[in-house]
Amino acid sequence: MANKCNVTDSIQFPLNRTYLELTNHCNMDCTFCPYSHQTRQQGYLDFELLKKIVDGLVAQKITTTIELTGYGEPLMNPDWYRICKYIVDSGLKLNITTNGIVLTESTTKKVLELNPEDIIISLQTPDAESFKIRKTSMKFEAYVNRLKRFIELYTESNATSNVRLRFLNTLGTKYMSFPETVSVHNTKEELITSITEWVRIIYDISSLKFDRSAVTSALSKVAKLQPTMVHVTDKITLESYLCNDYWAYGLKDKEQIKYPTKYARCRSMTLESIMILWNGDVTFCCSDFNGFLKIGSLQKSSMMEVLNSKKCAELVDGFKNFKVKHPYCQNCLGAKSLFLATTKALAASLYGLSLSEYQEIRLKTVPLPKSESKASVPQPQDVAEV
């Protein structure tokens, strides 16, 4: 076992985020995601390993919430429901992140039955043209209909989950290093138009009055750089965030980054969060698609033992002192130009120290008169799971 340090003495438990990857298989191959660039083995989280992980997290009071995410579609794990049920029954809160493709009517009902705290849908590309970069066999119209049906079933259910639909903001991608062109919302006007349309869809399903001018006016506060959370109803939000190529630097030798960053601070690397990969490996960063920053394995050790390892201490202590020690982190925060590298390092440091995570906008909701209320949204024919 690695030399033991005392990192956990300075950690505030429970951790803010504990990410869990149920699989790194996916039914999409999005241009903005490093999914197809993974070199680590692909697989599915085993239920027995899941029980060991959850029991350990609960016993050691590591976290209060588990968010299912990672570099695959969580609901593709054949055992996803049993895994989720075990997490919920353990007393931990559950968040589920999904791209929405497998949210058939039957799957949606199972998700809503679990009543997770958050259901996060990576809508990302809200029109037919941008949807092409998702690289999936599902047609855009079928995808939209599936998400509409999900929202309808949610509004009809007794679930109290927060539903969060995410949009990509690609305003700065021309300065970034994607293998292919990433283009979704290249102006603030395009972003506002997309969000406005989904506000209309949600209001239509929820029998709420839609005032386009009022909505557009409220959305003028959508930020270009800071993630924005638009509260459409008390339980449904639309989120915009800047598409970043942080992972792209992991595909290159550090010599190819002209200005790797040596001094900065990172929110992920100060143990605000932790990432558990499908095979039990532990890393810090949710952008660490290949496990470059692996600090241990929960197949062999407890989480406290992993967090108290020498490798963990070196990484954490470095960032606490604004020193970026690992080559992957240096490249992630580095860039081709000195200006961009300095900007990224400064932004990461400020974000980790002071900035709130989201700018929030709350829309006013007005119920439609009963005479105008739509009894039911037409139910599209469901499409077989992809």
Q: What residue ranges do the domains of the chain occupy? A: 12-252
What are the CA-CA distances from residue 376 to residues 74, 104, 149, 284, 381 (Å)? 30, 18, 11, 45, 15
High-pLDDT (> 70) share of the chain, %: 89
- How far apart are the C-alpha atoms of 99 and 120, rounded to whole Å? 8
Q: For residue range 316-355, what is the model confidence (pLDDT) as tens digits?
A: 788 778 888 888 888 888 877 888 888 888 877 776 555 5
Q: Pick the most confident of 39-48, 165-174, 223-232.
A: 39-48
Mean pLDDT taken over the chain: 87
Q: For residue range 292-304, what is the model confidence (pLDDT) as tens digits?
A: 989 999 998 999 9
pLDDT band at 373 (very low <50, low <70, confident <90, very high): low
pLDDT band at 94 (very low <50, low <70, confident <90, very high): very high
Question: Taking 80 as the threshold, does the pLDDT of residue 11 lie above it?
Answer: no
Task: Write down the pLDDT at residue 314.
Answer: 81
Question: Taking 80 as the threshold, does the pLDDT of residue 101 lie above it?
Answer: yes
Question: Taking 60 as the threshold, does the pLDDT of residue 1 lie above it?
Answer: no
Q: For residue range 196-225, what is the model confidence (pLDDT) as tens digits?
A: 999 999 999 999 999 999 999 999 999 887
Other beta carbons within 10 Å of 29: 12
> What pairing do the DSSP bridges indicate for beta strands 296-297 and 359-362?
unpaired
Question: Taking 80 as the threshold, does the pLDDT of residue 6 lie above it?
Answer: no
- How far apart are the C-alpha atoms of 21 and 188, rounded to whole Å? 33
Question: Taking 50 as the threshold, does the pLDDT of residue 231 lie above it?
Answer: yes
Tokens of 231: 């509260």
12-252: CATH topology: TIM Barrel (3.20.20)
CB of 21 closer than 8 Å to CB of 267: no
**Higher model confidence: residue 259 or residue 268?**
259
Question: Taking 90 as the threshold, does the pLDDT of residue 2 lie above it?
Answer: no
pLDDT band at 379 (very low <50, low <70, confident <90, very high): very low
